[in-house]
Amino acid sequence: MSVLIVGSIALDNIKTQTEERMGLLGGSASFASLAASFFAHTRLVGIVGTDFPAEHIELFKSRGIDLKGLQIVEGKTFSWSGEYEWDMNNRRTLSVSLNVFESFRPEIPSEWRTTPFVLLANIHPSLQHHVLDQIEQPRFVVADTMDLWIETARTELERLLQRVDLLILNDSEARQLINQTSLIRAGRLIRKMGPKFVVVKKGEHGALLFGEEEFFSCGAYPLEDIHDPTGAGDCFAGGLIGSLAGAGVGTVHFAHLRKAVVHGSVIASFNVESFSVERLRHLTTIEIAKRFERLKHMAMIEAKELASR
């Protein structure tokens, strides 16, 4: 089945403590679409300027991503620059230039409006609402968010939670949204705000999945070398919804989401092994399957240990 992904497409400048790269493909929709494309047919909605490199367009096409919803307008593409500390959980934004993204108004092609699986990648909640207003009876809607929207667009975000099936946010955002220090309590309370399911990302410590009564903890795949964490969360979200669509599930149950969370974690683990999307460019389904089995085994052991306590 198909996945519809709406979000930002950017050109990133990334600096770590050992290396610096300029003009890299970035943006929430870019990472998420490439991740989802390993599992399902993917439709991308976003906006870029006339300066957007043709090589990035060709990469999307090489993964079979449908670009009918991509707007190319006169001007410069959204640009973000950031610097990571030695602890790559910490990063500092150096500059943001919205450029053509400032006027982005997602318009969903008419033939895409019945797409069953929808990912509202990290964009302003008002734009996420605008997308949902155009979608006809989606089977499963996932939304990502960030601290900025919790702080500046909370009313719209809270209303959005009534319209989505799964909310994805990181640990600090979960605490910020619900004003709780306990992630377990925060996850439970956020779910009561509207979404049927909640995923709290914990970076190198994995992710927590919350259902009505169910709970699942998935550890991150252990890596020795991390080169660029940019887009890992977007890859997680894309891999998750791609996994659901690729499985062709009807009603999405907790068991489906457990598998999808592991798939999301696997794709995210590959992404951080190189700058931007370079690791995804050469990633194979065989590599994904092998790492999935390893991480699934680790997660199953952890789940059994939790159940026995």
> Hey, CA dihedral for 37, 294, 232, 240, is it positive or negative?
positive
Report pLDDT for 301: 54
d(CA 302, CA 215): 12
| Dihedral (Cα; 144, 82, 62, 294), 10-degree rounding | -70
Number of Cβ within a 10 Å radius of residue 180: 16
> Looking at residue 153, what is its pLDDT?
96
- Half-sphere exposure of residue 118, counting CA atoms within 13 Å on the CB side? 27
3-class secondary structure, 182: coil
Q: Is 111 exposed, middle or buried (0-12, 13-18, 19+ CB in 10 A)?
A: exposed
| Poorest-pLDDT segment among 88-97, 98-107, 120-129, 200-209 | 88-97
pLDDT grade for 91, boundaries at 50, 70 and 90: confident
Q: Is the pLDDT of residue 89 over 80?
A: no
Boundaries of every domain in the chain? 2-308
Query: The domain 2-308 belongs to what CATH superfamily?
Result: Ribokinase (3.40.1190.20)
pLDDT score recorded for residue 297: 83
pLDDT tier at 305, thresholds 50, 70, 90 = very low
pLDDT of the residue at 308: 46
Range 188-201 average pLDDT: 97
In the 8-state DSSP scheme, what is residue 26? E
Q: For 201-227, what is each residue's pLDDT tens digit?
A: 998 889 999 999 999 999 888 888 889
pLDDT at 18: 87
Q: Is the pLDDT of residue 303 over 60?
A: no
The DSSP bridge partners found for residue 169 are 200
Q: At 302, is the pLDDT very low, low, confident or very high (cuts 50, 70, 90)?
A: low
pLDDT in tens, 16-71: 988 999 999 999 999 999 999 999 999 999 999 999 999 999 999 999 999 999 99
Question: What's the pLDDT at 87?
Answer: 84
